[in-house]
Amino acid sequence: MADFSSPQRQSKTGIIVMFAQTLQEWGRGLLPILIVTAVNLNNKKIIALTATLIGFFVLALIVGWCRYRNFTFWIDEENEEFVITEGILNKSKTLIQLQKIQQVNIGQSLLQRIIGVYTLEVDTAGSNKKEGKIRAISHQLAIALKERLLDNVARSVAQTESAGQNDDVPALESQKPFIHISFLSLLKYGITSNYLRTLGLMLAFFITIYENLQRLVDTSEYDSKIDSILEESIAVQTGLIAIGFLLSAFLIVNVVRVVVKYFNFRIARQKGSLLLSYGLINTKSTIIKPEKVQITTVSRNYFQKKLDILELRIKQATGGEQEQKQSFMEIPGCDRREGDSILQLLFGSIPEKGVMLIPNYRKLVFSIFLSIVVPLGIAYFAIPSDVLLDFVWIFPLWAILRGLSLAFGFHNYRLFVHDRFIIKQSGAWDVANQIIEPQKIQALSVSQLFWHKAADIGYLTIYTAGGKLSFQLGNYTVVSAYVNKWLYELETSDSNWM
């Protein structure tokens, strides 16, 4: 077994990684200057530009070598800390307590794959960033270091097993994948998910191209000819072709993005935890520990239900609020059987929904007022009447589409309470079920506006180390009773998931 008790450096090929990192950091700042210089090139500028680039690369290589030489890492066995030192002029030392390590991720970029090294990231629950990052380490050493850093988790699992609480789970489970997301499943997931995200990226791309072409047309002598062509009936056909191209490109981009990111997605058991590995260009390996899981979200839409695929999002304990929004593990395209297997391993059983709480009808009325009445009212009074007549058809279309979305969302908005689980269901098209365990609750908040007292409705917010879960305009008396019950269980429970 590898010895981490003394300081050691990264792999020697890490110099290349450090060099590339320096180039990337400096290149962002120098790129505008290089573009401006390249526009008006002459013989003298070519010589100066070439000399500048050579000096830039040489200096970046020196800085990369210094970063490699000054970067060391080791484990302080006496104080049980993981230590990282780095820096060139201003040197720093990072101390990470082993017991606070939340997650250790192993990844590999395209450059790292070529030279045969990996990135190892160490994350704890008390910060909004990665506390430690080793950019060039061999695979064998990365695996050994990850096992050593997470050794405290293995000890807790062994203690639990020795107490007889997990007699049906072997002490050392095989790392052979028990779930493998197929290429076909990724295709199904890519076609049926993340519409808004991909559409937003594509619209931004096409709008940028359109604006650049428009500037070119405005300064061109063919401006009048193009305008006359656009006034003809061919413009309608061009518009239809453009829409068809946009929809096709939308699906292709979404599928390619999913396949590249999640290619060869495998899930294996490792000492009671889930070991996830995936990626086509940038590979990544990470561990999900059931005792650290805070919020698990199971979501699917109509098409995904017909294709028997779903999406799992798992949030572990994180630091700041910004990280809670971004830090989650996504398991795409698994079927219902595979999803149940993952939930079984995370919770010990498949979550049950229990008693159902529904929101008051005022939630739907208030949403309609804010999303339909207010925007259309502002548009009616803000847009000139002559322009308004040309776009008046948008008003009923928006009211119908948005109204249907709100109605379906209200119909799916539910809170289910079970002795072991709290499940919030929400969503109009993509119906998501957020699952938390009562013993993972860190804080509870229940509030009521004064005009809601007569209707006996209020707001519930459940805080966990992985984010919060809110339920609006439920029965205040019932919600308060559950809050008191959960608080009592938290006070009397000896659970120590942290």
User: pLDDT tens digits for 163-210?
Assistant: 444 433 333 344 567 889 999 999 999 888 876 665 665 566 566 666
DSSP state of 8: B
Q: Would you say residue 256 lies in a domain?
A: yes
Structure confidence at residue 50 as a pLDDT band (50, 70, 90): confident
Count of CB atoms situated within 10 Å of the CB of 284: 19
Q: What type of residue sits at position 377?
A: G
Q: What pLDDT does 408 receive?
A: 96
Say which amino acid occupies 487: L
d(CA 263, CA 11): 27
Q: Is the residue at 85 inside a domain? A: yes
Residue 319 has pLDDT above 60, yes or no: no
Query: Does residue 459 have a pLDDT over 90?
Result: yes
H or E segment to which residue 468 belongs: strand 467-475
Quick one: which of 100, 131, 141 has its CA closest to 8? 141
Q: What is the mean pLDDT of the segment spanning 8-37?
A: 81
Same-domain pairing of 21 and 135? yes
What pLDDT band is residue 310 in, cutting at 50, 70 and 90? very high
pLDDT in tens, 255-278: 888 999 999 999 988 777 888 899
Burial of 368 (0-12, 13-18, 19+ CB in 10 A): middle
Q: Let me know whether 132 and 44 are in one domain.
A: yes
Residue 426 lies in a domain: no
What DSSP designation does 2 have? -
For the chain, give the percent of residues with pLDDT over 90. 41
Identify whether residues 72 and 142 lie together within a single domain. Answer: yes
Query: Are 105 and 201 part of one and the same domain?
Result: no
Q: Is residue 372 in some structural domain? A: yes
Give whichever of 50-64, 146-160, 444-458 has the largest mean pLDDT: 444-458
Render the burial of 61-88: b for 16+ CB within 10 Å, e for the rest.
Answer: bebbebbbeebebbbeeeeebbbbebee
Average pLDDT over residues 238-242: 67
The total domain count for the chain is 3
Amino acid at 347: F
Give the range among 3-17, 22-36, 391-405, 456-470 with minimum mean pLDDT. Answer: 22-36
* Long-range contacts of residues 426-432, Cβ cutoff 8 Å, at least 24 apart: 427/299, 428/404, 429/301, 429/302, 429/405, 430/193, 430/299, 430/300, 430/301, 431/299, 431/300, 431/301, 432/297, 432/298, 432/299
Residue 82 clears pLDDT 90, i.e. is over it: yes
Using one digit for the tens of pLDDT, what is the confidence trace for 91-137? 899 999 888 887 788 888 888 888 989 999 888 765 555 678 999 99
Strands 81-86 and 310-316: unpaired
Contact 19, 62 (CB under 8 A): no
Q: How far apart are the first and last CA of the chain?
A: 28
Token look-up 């239900």 returns: 305
pLDDT band at 158 (very low <50, low <70, confident <90, very high): very low
Asked if residue 195 and residue 118 are part of one domain, the reply reads no
Residues 55 and 125 in one domain: yes
Alpha helix ranges (H) inside 71-175: 110-115, 139-149, 151-162
Identify the CA nearest to 415 among candidates 364, 461, 353, 347. Answer: 353
More confident position, 218 or 150: 150
Q: Are 93 and 73 in contact (CB under 8 A)?
A: no
> Is 204 strand, coil or helix?
helix
Domain assignment of residue 233, yes or no: yes
Q: Are residues 41 and 141 in the same domain?
A: yes
The verdict on residue 18 lying in a domain is: yes
Tens-digit pLDDT profile for residues 281-305: 888 888 888 888 999 999 999 999 9
> Average pLDDT for residues 351-356, to the nearest whole number?
94
69 and 117 share one domain: yes
Read off the pTM: 0.75
The parent domain of residue 104 ranges over 14-149
Per-residue pLDDT, averaged over 458-483, amounts to 94
> What are the b/e assignments for 463-472, b being 16+ CB within 10 Å?
ebbbbebebb
Q: Which of residues 311 and 156 earns the better pLDDT score?
A: 311
Domain annotation covers residue 247: yes
Res. 49: pLDDT tops 70: yes
Whole-number Å distance between alpha carbons of 396 and 262: 41
The SS3 assignment for 433 reads strand
Of 199, 234, 262, the one marking the end of a domain is: 262
Does some domain include residue 498?
no
Query: Which pLDDT score, from 0 to 100, does residue 37 have?
Result: 66
Q: Which residue has the tokens 């572990």?
A: 316
Per-residue model confidence (pLDDT) at position 349:
92
Residues 146 and 104: beta-carbon distance below 8 Å? yes
Q: What average pLDDT is seen over the chain?
A: 82
How high is the pLDDT of residue 236?
56
Asked if pLDDT for residue 353 goes beyond 60, the answer is yes
Q: Residue 309: what pLDDT?
A: 93
Greater confidence (219 vs 250) lies with 250
Helix (H) / strand (E) element for 470: namely strand 467-475
Number of H helices, E strands in the chain: 17, 20
Long-range pairs for 440-449: beta carbons < 8 A, 24 or more residues apart: 440/293, 440/294, 440/464, 440/465, 440/497, 441/486, 441/490, 444/483, 444/486, 444/487, 446/476, 446/479, 446/480, 446/483, 448/476
Same domain? For 122 and 236 the reply is: no
Residues 211 and 121 in one domain: no
Final residue belonging to a domain, choices 239, 262, 285: 262
Q: For residue 44, is pLDDT > 80? A: no
Nearby residues of 343 by Cβ (< 8 Å), 6 or more positions away:
296, 298, 350, 351, 435
Q: Report CA-CA distances (Å) from 467 to 32, 38, 92, 435.
A: 40, 48, 31, 12
Structure tokens at 45: 């500028």
pLDDT score at 173: 41
Looking at 244, 262, 280, the residue that finishes a domain is 262
Reading the block at residue 353, the tokens are 């929904």
- pLDDT over 60 (residue 386): yes
209 and 122, same domain (yes or no): no
pLDDT band at 423 (very low <50, low <70, confident <90, very high): very high
pLDDT in the model for residue 304? 92
User: Which pLDDT belongs to residue 171?
Assistant: 36
In the three-class reduction of DSSP (H, G, I as helix; E, B as strand; rest coil), residue 308 is classed as coil
